[in-house]
Structure 1
Amino acid sequence: MDAENRFQYLERLEKLRNSKVLVYFSYTPLDDSILVPLYKQLKALGHTRKIDLILHSYGGAVDTPYKLVMLIREFCEEFGVIVPLVAKSAASMVVLGADEVVMGPVSELGPIDPLVKHPIYKDLWVPVQAIRYCLDYLQRTITNSPDPELATFVINPVLNKLDPWLIGDYEKSLKASHQYAEALLSRYMLKESPAQVSGVTHALTEGYFSHGYPIGRREARELGLKVTDADGELWDVIWSLYLGYEELFNQMECVD
């Protein structure tokens, strides 16, 4: 699919949704580097009634989604997120700051488990929940061992490699994700259902053990999120755009 075809599909989507459509499609972690290019696009667009964001991301930094939502909402009255395939972790946090999430039969959200950079391997991003589970596992191993002294002796070298400052930073990220989720839900997605905010926040930040757990549109709706089903022509256009951007992404990788 060439640029002209993508533009035609975007125009059709804007007519179907009566909105202006932006696209974020990436396989690299979502971080603050998106903010300046996004601001330039929004400034060129100007204030408009409704903005839809096509979002394809596996997650990223804990603070970025909140900044992204606040920035987009400076330029519109209504904000929708369209998920063709995946909006995981930090990208799911963006959804909580929308008025609705548009999902098709293969669309997935995920638990809110932000990523942090590994202190040694700088190109490696680690789900912060993994640090907590590691510490829980080590504690259980010592507690449940028939010989706690031996278990402590074996595990101490591992514990000694865990920097207390880093552990504190990971724990802070977990608390921040809870705070951001609650703030976005209460202000936007669930502003008319405040009694649901606490439960949805807990479910998304602590209710799933797998970082990649797939939350489809039915489960998202059962959680309490405002889900708009993408069917018929709407879904055909959204899916065609996903395939077009996937093709473009693969071409760019081949050039690199």
Structure 2
Amino acid sequence: MELAVVIPTFNRLPITKQCIDSLRANKSRNDLIIICDSSSTDGTQSIQGFYDNLIFIDVGPGAWWSAAVNVGAQRAVQMGCKSILVLNDDLNFNYDLINSLLESSKNHPDSIISASQEANSKIFLGSIYPGFFKRTQHIYQELALSKKTSLEVETTNGSCLLIPSTVFKKIGYFDEVQCPHLYGDTQFQLRALRDGIKIICDLTTRVIQQPNTNYIERLSISSMFVAPGSPLKISAYWAFCNALFGSKARAFFLGAWHHYYFLRQTLKVCILKGLGDFNFSRLFRNHYED
């Protein structure tokens, strides 16, 4: 089997159906779709009756992004799929998404391929971590198309990732223990990078992110450092740093810029949390973005 699409979801049946409809709009393809649902209560289970070549898995109420994706990816690997497309359902994209990503993978075999992501009149391509202290540098492109068709980065947005099954066999799956939600995609890519696997952003393929779910507004100050969906979850932050620097000691001493930024964001959140009624998602549109 060439490919399986793994879609994690929770309580957003209309959005999930829209995503599947966009995939099925390409009549020349009928790829296996694996829905990994965290025990939704909005009738998401009924989606099984709407589409053929679809596997529905209830991954349990405690499964966040990383755990849900892992269940689907493991099933796809067991079924002999050559590639797995990890796809968030809250994306708008062209019906030819899969063909474009597969075409890019022919030019970059054994690499992780991502679509570029449109947000705020810019195109986000990915991030690199240059220099001794590996300070994050986000790479954007203006809306006009570049002459290049692809760009090698160090990490990119995990909402649309084409991953060869050989990558999972080589480095394992997403770290659902330390990075249950945010940082899960970034830490996985950094591990892949350290194992010699390239991360490629396909500039010819584009997805558009729908408004993000803002989990942090639901959290108290005490829980935001341990809650699975929090961008300030400490274990997830350290897992990212360890993967970036290669060891805990190097992460502690050389990660000064990252530690400063994390502490600055933490202070902002605590102050703004006390003020109330604030759109916290603006702080966390991308990891470490001002």
**Coarse TM-score class (shorter-chain normalised):** 0.3 to 0.5
Q: Return the TM-score normalized by structure 2.
A: 0.30
* Bigger CA radius of gyration: 1
With normalisation by structure 1, the TM-score equals: 0.33
| Bigger helix fraction | 1
